[in-house]
Amino acid sequence: MSKRCPECRSVNDDSRLFCSSCGATLDSDLRLIQDLEKQKTILAKTAPPQKQDDYDDEDYVPPVSSRKKSGCYVATAVYGSYDCPQVWVLRRFRDGQLAASPLGRAFIRLYYAVSPALVRWFGGTAWFRRLCRGPLDRLVQALLTQGVSDGPYQDRDW
């Protein structure tokens, strides 16, 4: 059995989640998640900016309704916002460095296949945020040392 890519129309093995020719998502659930993320990004651009004073408080958890649910799932759950300096650094790293190599792109695909479910199951728990925060803080610090900016960032269109 095979899947036809909705983007380039090439035929792919049924077990593949991403097109071997163009990299587009073959799985309908993943396509739905990507479409929802794009819609939320468009809506968020028109929303007023959120207060960002509380990001350094490890116990602070913003209300679920104020959280933007797209993109960097784990980092957004850990830091409490999609639009905070730490997540901007990680998004720049994803788009600028990881996406530049085939192995990096494979990691990105795997991350977006697994992380939505992880965050849905565990993202609201304090232990998950504590477990992930240390490694993310170290990665962000290393990227800042390498010169990656922590200023506002607009995601690259894939």
* Residue-level pLDDT at 85: 92
The pLDDT, as a whole number, for residue 110 is 93
What pLDDT digit, counting tens, does each position of 1-30 carry? 677 777 777 787 766 666 777 776 666 656
Question: How is residue 105 written in tokens?
Answer: 């792109």
Do 91 and 85 contact (CB within 8 A), yes or no?
Answer: no
Nearest to residue 1, comparing CAs of 16, 10, 9, 13?
Answer: 13
> Looking at residue 138, what is its pLDDT?
96
Q: Mean pLDDT per segment of 10 residues, for the chain of length 158 residues? A: 74 70 67 65 60 49 40 86 90 90 92 90 90 94 92 76
Task: Return the C-alpha torsion angle 72, 76, 79, 85, nearest 10.
Answer: 50
Classify the phi-psi angles of 142: left when phi > 0, otherwise alpha if psi is within -120 to 50, otherwise beta: alpha
